[in-house]
Amino acid sequence: MRTFETVFLDAGGVLVWPNWHRVADVLRAHGVSADPRRLIDADPRARVAIDRSEPAGGSTDQRRGSTLFELVFAEAGVAMDNRTLAAVEELQAYHRERNLWESVPPFVAPALQDLRSAGYRMVIVSNSNGTLHRLFDRVGLSPLVDVIVDSHVEQVEKPERRFFDIALDRSGARREATVHVGDLYHVDVAGARAAGLAAVLIDEAGLRPDADCPRLRDVSGLPALLTRWTKGSV
């Protein structure tokens, strides 16, 4: 049995996703045919492939982002030719300024509200590019969380223990009463455990049955999971 007071939440793949409709529009503007539905469907499979291919600390957020595009495009039938590369360059410029991970599924806000109603402190602990605070303001998530910690601002990334320690210090959270929720096993689960935190894996497509930790399809199931965990049934 374990009692939690604070929930650390990754951003990408947990609360926000790439705007694949914007990606498809930019590709089409460069003369490249792209179906946003195929891009969306390929996204979780690409992230699992990235997760399986690297040990903890074996890559960087920027490199994972580039690899994600390549894998999603390959699975969605988008050729990496000069037109696609030009579109990617435009998308990267947008991401640097505005953050492309701007799609918020309808289950996210209610889940955060449920967690807040249950009394949890909520802290965003995310490998990002320095735009995370502005993104959360823009998509309306800032009022639903207590602290946002952006790896680019702190100059350290998950799975490094120091990043989790910064988040603990910044939020006033107790290590033994904190659970971290993320979508990459080697970055989020292994990193959190090495920092002395409990961990939950978001496995939206059910592709990680081998993971030795609690799994959820999305954060809507998190309040109930934490209740079960407190009662010792997880």
Q: What is the pLDDT of residues 78-107, one digit of tens each?
A: 999 999 999 999 999 999 999 999 999 999
Is the model's pLDDT at 61 over the cut of 80? no
Q: Is the pLDDT of residue 138 over 60?
A: yes
Distance CA(125)–CA(163), nearest Å, equals 8
Mean pLDDT of the chain: 95
pLDDT of residue 195: 98
Please give the domain boundaries of the chain with CATH numbers for all domains. 6-15+103-230 (3.40.50.1000), 20-97 (1.10.150)
Q: What is the pTM of this model?
A: 0.95
pLDDT at residue 56 tops 70: no
171 pLDDT above the threshold of 70? yes
Query: 55-59: long-range contacts at Cβ-Cβ below 8 A with a sequence spacing of 24 or more?
Result: 55/186, 56/159, 56/186, 56/187, 56/190, 56/191, 56/194, 57/159, 57/160, 58/186
Residue-by-residue DSSP string for the chain? ----SEEEE-SBTTTBB--HHHHHHHHHHTT----HHHHHHHHHHHHHHHHHH--TTSS-HHHHHHHHHHHHHHHTT---SHHHHHHHHHHHHHHHHT-S--B--TTHHHHHHHHHHTT-EEEEEE---S-HHHHHHHHT-GGG-SEEEEHHHHT--TT-HHHHHHHHHHHT--GGGEEEEES-IIIIIHHHHHTT-EEEEE-TTS--TT-SS-EESSGGGHHHHHHHHHTT--
Written as six digits, the tokens of 215 are: 């799994």
Whether the pLDDT of residue 32 is over 90: the answer is yes
The closest alpha carbon to 75, from 34, 46, 33, 37, belongs to: 46
Which residue, chain included where needed, has tokens 């904190």? 178
Q: Average pLDDT for residues 143-155, to the nearest whole number?
A: 98
Mean pLDDT value across residues 72-81: 96
The tens digit of pLDDT for each residue in 193-223 reads 999 999 999 999 999 999 999 999 999 999 9
